[in-house]
Structures are given as C-alpha cells and as structure tokens.
C-alpha cells in the first residue's frame, strides 16, 4: 500500500503544478527542420497572463537529449549564438522566440523529426511551467 502511494506521488505532483488556462500560454510553437542528428531550433510565442513578471531559464523535452535557451546576436558583424539565456516576460506581457533572436536549441533528437512531425517541449519559468507541441516545418 505504502509503495503504491509512493509510486503515485510524482504523478500527483505533476497534476498539482499544471497551470490553469491563460496563466502562462505557449502558442505558434514550431521547429525548423534540420539534417538528421543535427541540433534543431524551436520558436514560439509566450503569453504571461499573470500579474507578475516571469523569468524563463530552462526547458526540457522527452524528444531531445538536451534543450538550451539561446539568443542569436550580431557582434562586430559576425553572427553568434549566446547560451544560457533568460527570457524575461513582463506581467501580462509576451515574448516572441523567432529566427535571428531568442530560440530553443534542441540537441540530440531521440527519434527522426521531419516536416509535419511534432515534439513536446516544456518551458520552466521559476515555479511555473508550460508545455506545447511544436510542429516541425521545412526551412
Ligand atoms: Cu542556438
């Protein structure tokens, strides 16, 4: 009995931290198709319906070995990618992750992902989190 309860705990914890609709909303989520095994880039829109600012600094996915938050930037005319970025979203504001700017860098796809496929990614913003299905699109 006790063992069964312990086994249930992670499930209960997951259910408890699921967000009510409209609080932290991910939309327009897509992944740029890339050669097999290469890293892929994910983009989306984040709407913060909460009365407080959010800092999103981690992401994870059951479909990738690792997910990092990056930002593309021009430095002395050279395109660079900055790692370990934090996405700041003002209270009741929004953030856009788009090509040439903030993006999710998706490493080591655990299955082949072609245009039309989708992958689930979870974004962590302090004590909040939200997930979305990202659709793979041809570049
Ligand atoms: Cu990147």
48 C-alpha to center of ligand 1: Å?
23
Which one is the CATH code of 22-137: 2.60.40.1890, 3.30.450.20, 3.40.605.10, 3.40.50.300?
Answer: 2.60.40.1890
105 C-alpha to center of ligand 1: Å?
5
Distance CA 91, CA 111 (A): 37
pTM: 0.82
Could you tell me the pLDDT band of residue 37, with boundaries at 50, 70 and 90? confident
17 C-alpha to center of ligand 1: Å?
29
Could you tell me the pLDDT band of residue 129, with boundaries at 50, 70 and 90? very high
pLDDT per residue over 62-121, tens digit each? 999 999 999 999 989 999 999 999 999 999 999 999 999 999 999 999 999 999 999 999
CB burial readout 128-138, b (16+ within 10 A) else e: bbbbbebebee
Segments making up each domain of the chain, as ranges: 22-137
């Amino acid at each position: 009995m006790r063992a069964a309860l312990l086994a249930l705990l992670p499930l209960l914890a997951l259910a408890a931290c699921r967000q009510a609709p409209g609080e932290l909303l991910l939309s327009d989520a897509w992944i740029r198709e890339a050669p097999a095994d290469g890293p892929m880039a994910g983009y989306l829109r984040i709407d913060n319906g909460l009365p407080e600012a959010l800092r999103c600094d981690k992401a994870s996915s059951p479909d990738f070995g690792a997910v990092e938050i990056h930002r593309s930037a021009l430095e002395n005319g050279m395109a660079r990618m900055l790692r370990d970025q934090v996405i700041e979203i003002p209270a009741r504001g929004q953030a856009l992750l788009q090509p040439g700017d903030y993006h999710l860098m998706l490493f080591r796809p655990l299955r082949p992902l072609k245009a039309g496929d989708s992958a689930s990614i979870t974004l962590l913003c302090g004590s909040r989190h939200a997930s979305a299905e990202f659709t793979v699109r041809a570049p």
